[in-house]
Amino acid sequence: MKFRALGEARWILGILAAAWLGTILLFPIFSFLIAGFLLFSLYFFRDPERTPPTDESLAVSPADGVVVEVMEVEESEFLHCRVRRVGIFLSVFDVHVNRAPIAGEITHSEPFTGRYLDARNPDSAKLNARRTWVIKGSQATLVVRQITGAIARRICAWSQVGDAVNRGGRFGMIRFGSRTEADFPLDAEILVKLGDRVRGGETPIARLPGPN
């Protein structure tokens, strides 16, 4: 999946490259603007390597961005219990590849249609178009949500039900500004707070309880 992000951008990059060549020939002064869009698109679809911490009890962030929500809520779709939710806002300048917080098996992956509210709005988690993933690990079962935003209009799923994922492994991406959430059991220790900046697949955001 290393170059999957660039693959998601192939038509965008192709159109921009063709427009850039055309403006060089016909309207050279505008070629600098098109070149800027082309370079930004290459930057946006970057996919750096990440190394999770060695401690297997640490769940890593599913996304790059800023923590905008840490709260206890009722997860009524899949787990049907109260959870500790961590919400992360991704700006257009963040890496948009999503990564698994824990190692495990994907037991559910389901898209939902909806609106395109600003991803910083807490209501976006309920009202916006999104994809929900359930990952069953040896220490816990987590729910991860990819949520669209006012600009983001496409969620790209790179894994499917039955796939095994490594901690920090790529499972998809969201195109442009968006939000990603992870739901943890109540006995998990949340290691981040509002305003913290996190890196997907690398920053520990929760410590899971040991096996019973």
Residues acting as catalytic residues: 178
CB distance 120 to 181 below 8 Å: no
**Concatenated DSSP letters for 99-134?**
E-SSSEEEEEEEEE--B---TTSTTHHHHB-EEEEE
Return all residues near 64 (Cβ < 8 A) that are at least 6 apart.
88, 90, 94, 95, 96, 198, 199, 200
Question: CB-side exposure of 52: number of CA atoms within 13 Å?
Answer: 25
Closest by Cα among 210, 211, 212, 204 to 102: 204
Closest by Cα among 178, 33, 163, 189 to 109: 163
C-alpha distances (whole Å) from 174 to each of 44, 51, 53, 156 are 11, 21, 24, 6
